[in-house]
Amino acid sequence: MSKQDTKQTLLEIGRSAFLRNGFNHTGINEVLETAGVPKGSFYYYFSSKEDFGLQVLDYHGQGDLAALDGFIADETLPPLARLRAYFDANIQVLAAQGCGRGCLIGNLGQEMADQSEAFRRKLDEVMSNSIAAIQVCLEQAQRNGDLDATQNAGELAEFCLSSWQGAVLRMKVVKSDAPLQAFIHSLFDIVLKN
């Protein structure tokens, strides 16, 4: 593997392991074994397990933001339909996982926000990036006349993101996508109506 491949492999394996078992219950040794990478190589890329966790969050957040931005840039749809398509795509992924595991950001937010200030700041950064992208989309809808222009788009974007996280948490408990469908319906047919 090239250096870039090795690092990306570790980030991918870390992401799966953290999603499955959380940060505290994931051992670096199990990540190294799965990757077939020696410990020295790990410490070439990451200064500590915490540094690894933060870089996994960055990697995941960048991928998720790129996906969100891709949906928002789709000018064949009106702005609110782009946002709905993004959430619908995420529901398909979660349903394919049997409505378990949830979302890395929500899981680590719950686990780490009170435990590590570095994690808390990184989680806030990743969430804030998504909220900012959603806000841009809502403002486009307001300019198009598809959404009440007197609404506070920043606050609505905050509500979209946190309500989504709550629906994913409830999905994990009820093991069905019904809370995600209630989210889609309540958000797009009630909140984001003109």
Cβ atoms of 110 and 121 closer than 8 Å = no
Does residue 190 touch its own copies according to CB under 8 A? yes
b/e map of 167-183 (b: 16 or more CB within 10 Å)?
bbbebbeeeebebbeeb
Does residue 174 touch its own copies according to CB under 8 A? yes
By CB under 8 A, which span of 28-36, 55-63, 67-75, 106-114 interacts with its own copies? 106-114
- To its own copies, the closest distance from the beta carbon of 122 in angstroms equals 10
By CB under 8 A, which span of 33-41, 57-65, 71-79, 103-111 interacts with its own copies? 103-111
Among 69, 169, 177, 188, binds its own copies (CB under 8 A): 169
Does residue 49 touch its own copies according to CB under 8 A? no
Q: Name the H helices within the chain.
A: 3-21, 28-35, 39-45, 49-72, 79-96, 104-112, 117-144, 153-174, 178-186
Cβ atoms of 85 and 71 closer than 8 Å = yes
By CB under 8 A, which span of 49-57, 58-66, 83-91, 149-157 interacts with its own copies? 149-157
Does residue 77 touch its own copies according to CB under 8 A? no
Window 111-130: residues binding its own copies (CB under 8 A): 111, 113-114, 120, 123-124, 127
Does residue 151 touch its own copies according to CB under 8 A? yes
Cβ atoms of 54 and 16 closer than 8 Å = no
Decide: residue 96, CB within 10 A, 0-12 exposed, 13-18 middle, 19+ buried: exposed
Does residue 165 touch its own copies according to CB under 8 A? yes
Distance of CA 8 to the CA centre of its chain: 18
Cβ atoms of 136 and 157 closer than 8 Å = no
Among 107, 135, 140, 142, binds its own copies (CB under 8 A): 107
Q: What angle do CA 180, 18, 126 make, to 5 degrees?
A: 65
Contacts with its own copies by CB under 8 A lie at 22, 24-25, 100-102, 106-107, 109-111, 113-114, 120, 123-124, 127, 151, 155-156, 158-159, 161-170, 172-175, 178-179, 182-183, 185-186, 190-191
